[in-house]
Structures are given as structure tokens and as C-alpha cells.
Structure 1
């Protein structure tokens, strides 16, 4: 697909600017791709987006608030995770810069700005949680739901492996002071959450991390998004009301959001289909693209 089939901009949505790109014919039905915790829209790679667009879709990817070229809320200090968890344990709503519902509002605002009444919504990890909120709370705007390597917030489902959680929460070196240390930290985390289906591609991962650095890094953005995830709570009751065709994709080797979370998600959404990909971890490497693209196309085509 030629470069003229790719277009993008930065659009004001409420109080934030959202950077986005679109692939394919703008008159085709839309698939909205939502990125995960602390990552940017470029994790939905150009080949992946173009493969979906080639099947007859308009594919839209965007930077969530606090990532990439969208608004960075650097003026908001990173939340105290202990205080967030303590407030939730006491049955109180913690004071946060924003919630996953606010982030879902950004996605809806982008659809409004692009003149899209309803879209097929696809989210990965945290983006899957945002996609679930869109499908459960704004079902009239969603044609189909695909939740990838995500969960419901069910407290009974096992969480990340302890060493993975330590890597996620551990402080990364400041890239302005120690760029190689920052890259090494990011590579170590990416290697740990990658699956066993193919050898880990360190060169490709390093290039992606550098691209994200060049596009922009919000100070404390990942922590603010993580607090929004934690505060979102258990969504199973809401997910039970989803009526659109739904697909859940999960990797058998995911150590960050384990496979049980994918099974729990599929069980919570009426009629959902579960696709388990052997050897896939908490990422979408090129070797799974054909299968994932075909699955998304399948559920969207049937909606």
C-alpha cells in the first residue's frame, strides 16, 4: 500500500491533543486500534495496519494521552500507588489525574472528530481494557470488540509474575542522562515478556524504543496510566452487557497478563470467541500478524 494511503494529524479532544494516523480508504468501515500501557501507536506497526487496511478497512491508530505526540500531563505528579491501592481497599475512589473512562472518552472524541459514528474497536493490554469500556458503556458506537492480551480486573485471577512486576515498576534510567541504560532497561523488560514462539528480536525492539523516544516521552505518564488501570476495578458485571460480536486474543506465554486473564475475559463477554496463540507473550511480533489480522477481520466482517 502506497504512502499516500497513510495520513495523520493532531486533533484537539476536550482538554487534550490526540495524535493519530489513518491507513486505507477513508470511506471504508473503521477499525480503531488502542495502544497499551506507556506505549505509543507505533506499536501497531505500519505493516500490521496496512495488512488490515488491505482487507477493506480504514485503520486508525492513535497515541493515548500521556504518550508519544499526544498531550503529556507532566504537570501532574505520578500517583502514589500505595495511596491508590489503600483508597480502593477502603472503598473510596482515589484522586487521579484521569481514569480509563477519560481515556475511552478520548477515543470517542477522535471518532467524533473523524466523522465516524461506529467503529470496530481493537485494544491491546491497557488498550484492551479501554476497548472493553467502549463496548460496555458506549455500545452504540462499537460494531465489534477485539480485546488482546488484556483482562477484566477480576481480583481472583493471578497477576503478573513477580519478576515481571518488579521490572515494570522499577525506575528506568533517565534517557536524557543515560540513554543506553534506558534502552537496556526497556530491552530487558521486552525480552522478559516476549513469548517463546520465535527468538527475541533485540535489534527491532531497540529501534522501536528509539522511535518512541524520538516521538516524545511523558515524565510519569506510565505511572499515571497504571494508576488509572488499577482504579478501574472489576469490569465483569459491565462486560456481561456487551452485545456486539467479540473476540479475545491471548498468548500462551504471557507473563504480564497471564492466559487465565484472557479466558476470564472471554467468559465474561456473552458469545465471545477466544483465540489462544501458542508461544505468544505480551507483545505482537511479526510472526503472529497474519493470524491476528485474519482474526480481527473475521469478527469485524461478521458484525
Structure 2
């Protein structure tokens, strides 16, 4: 369903939309990562949370999926922005991660949810940190998965991942877009938990069929690059915090998760051996168990 939040249209999936009985249950807000849609959250995770008695709220971030596209911002120059960032300058971005956090809070407002457990993956983890900083009274707990504090000096993507990210699709057809995304997802995947290629291809094709908007991903990327000021604010977070990170993450290395946990007072770090920058079945089982234990400590 579409809702209006923070001045834009946001596509939302809410357990209470399907079954009104969920309206009275504690809410979990899931915030997805760069360029990915709400359907990227594994069904096993969503269904597991619902089975445990939680109302699950997912949404498409701005500039991705079926939510508003910020077309008036144009196509950003990522090369120039990266160069500015490398030399210590903050590039100008058409919107910020704080704006995206306001979108997330606007989703809760529109649904009448006062408080939620906030869970973010990758860029979504950074947005979740911003949500917790902006409205601590709304956050029952924070979980940051395969994300970062964005502190200077942390390691970046592995060379082969950078090459996959910078490589352009061979064309604009569905097959060519799927093939391009497949190579990238294989590059960032979990070495200990490889996803069969046919399964991965089917997931990517589903996303392409639902919505495809690469320039929106570039604008999201610029918002991430411009959000270095968040690092110094993380010690202000008082919500119970769980940091989950794969030890084999080639996109946002494990050291980034370690640094996030170190900066947030009282945070718990859960390493998952052999997990990369994706959500395969076995790590999802462990993540679900960790989330339920983390949420339960709050009640």
C-alpha cells in the first residue's frame, strides 16, 4: 500500500494490513539497504518474526522500488563525490540519510505506531542509527546488520567488489540487467553459504520486474558518502543495540561492524562466521534467533 510520509509517497508492507490482529502487537520496522526493495527481506525472517508475535513493517526507501523517485535531483556525479570524500570534503547530496530516517519515522506516524524495534541492513543500518538518534523515544531497540559507523580510516570494499560495482550493464534489457546484478551479488555473497545461481537469478528478476531505477541508487549512494558526521553522534545512542556482521563481508568489512559496536554504549556484537554481504538461509536463521532474544530483553 502507498502512504504519504515526510512529503513523499512510500510503498509499505505491514502485517496489520493483511491481518488486523497484528495491529496490537509490538512493531518491528525493517529498513533495507542501498538500491534494494522491501521484497529483499527474506520471507523466512519476516514470517519468523510474525510467528513470534511481532508486527512487521517493511517499506521501499525513497528512490527505489515503488516509492517516490526524486527525479528533480538529477543524476549525481559519483566519481566526483568519491574524490571529494577521499580528500576529506563532504560532497553535496540531494537528500541525506537524516531525510531517509525522517521517511522511516513518517511511516510509523502514518501507521499510528508510537514505538518500534528498528532493524536496518547495510545502508538501512545507517538509516536505523539516524532514526535512533533523531527520535530515541520511538525506538524500543536498534539492530544494525552488516552496516558501518562511517568512521574515517575503516576498510572499504574488496577490489573485486569495487570492479563489479563500477562495471556497467551490457545493455538495458531485462536479461542484461539481471546478469549485471547477478555478478555483483555473487561478488558480495557469503563464501560459507553460497546461494544457488538459479535462486539468486530468480530473486533479481523479481526485483527487476517490480521496479528498476538505477539512478535512484546513485542518489542513495551519495547520501551515504555524505553522512560522515554520524560517527561522532553514535555514543549518544541509549537504545539497547545489537550489531550483526559477517566475518567474510567483502563490501562492508567486519571491522566496520566492530567499530559500530564499539562506539554505541552497551552494544552487543554478533559475528557470523563465513557470512558476506547477503542474507542466506542459515545466517537468517541465526539472525532471527538473535533478534528475538534481543527484542525479548526489552520487554
State if a TM-score over 0.5 links the two structures: yes
Name the structure 2 match of 1:117: 114
Name the structure 2 match of 1:159: 156
Name the structure 1 match of 2:279: 284
Call closer, same or farther: CA 1:90–1:258 in 2, change over 3 Å. closer
* Alignment partner of 1:235 is 2:227: no
How big is each residue's C-alpha offset from its partner over 1:36-60, in whole Å with a ceiling of 9 and x where there is no partner? Answer: 0001111112232011111111011
Q: 2:233, 2:134 → 1: CA distance?
A: 8
Uncovered stretches (5+) of structure 1, i.e. residues with no partner:
1-8
- TM-score, normalising length from structure 1? 0.92
Q: 1:214 aligns with which of 182, 202, 209?
A: 209
Name the structure 2 match of 1:198: 193
Uncovered stretches (5+) of structure 2, i.e. residues with no partner:
17-21
Contact 2:92 2:226 in 1 (8 A): no
* Alignment partner of 1:18 is 2:10: yes
Q: 1:90, 1:155 → 2: CA distance?
A: 11
Contact 1:73 1:218 in 2 (8 A): no
* Alignment partner of 1:70 is 2:67: yes
* Alignment partner of 1:59 is 2:56: yes
Contact 2:141 2:241 in 1 (8 A): yes
Residue 81 of structure 1: CA displacement? 2.2
Q: 2:242 aligns with which of 223, 240, 247?
A: 247
Name the structure 2 match of 1:271: 266
Q: Secondary structure at the match of 1:60?
A: strand
Residue 198 of structure 1: CA displacement? 2.4
Q: 1:128 aligns with which of 125, 129, 143?
A: 125
Q: 1:32 aligns with which of 26, 29, 35?
A: 29
* Alignment partner of 1:95 is 2:89: no
Contact 2:93 2:222 in 1 (8 A): yes
Contact 1:23 1:50 in 2 (8 A): no
Call closer, same or farther: CA 1:77–1:269 in 2, change over 3 Å. same
How big is each residue's C-alpha offset from its partner over 1:235-277, in whole Å with a ceiling of 9 and x where there is no partner? Answer: 2321101111000000011000000101111101111001100
Q: 1:158, 1:92 → 2: CA distance?
A: 18
How big is each residue's C-alpha offset from its partner over 1:81-112, in whole Å with a ceiling of 9 and x where there is no partner? Answer: 24334555777653322111111010000000
Larger CA deviation: 105-114 vs 197-206:
197-206
The CA RMSD measured in Å over matched residues stands at 1.7
Residue 289 of structure 1: CA displacement? 1.7
Q: 2:127, 2:182 → 1: CA distance?
A: 26
Contact 2:194 2:280 in 1 (8 A): no
Name the structure 2 match of 1:180: 175
Q: How many residues align?
A: 293
Contact 2:65 2:211 in 1 (8 A): yes
Q: Secondary structure at the match of 2:236?
A: coil
- Indicate the structure with greater helix content: 2
- TM-score, normalising length from structure 2? 0.93
Q: Secondary structure at the match of 1:220?
A: helix
Q: 1:48 aligns with which of 41, 45, 48?
A: 45
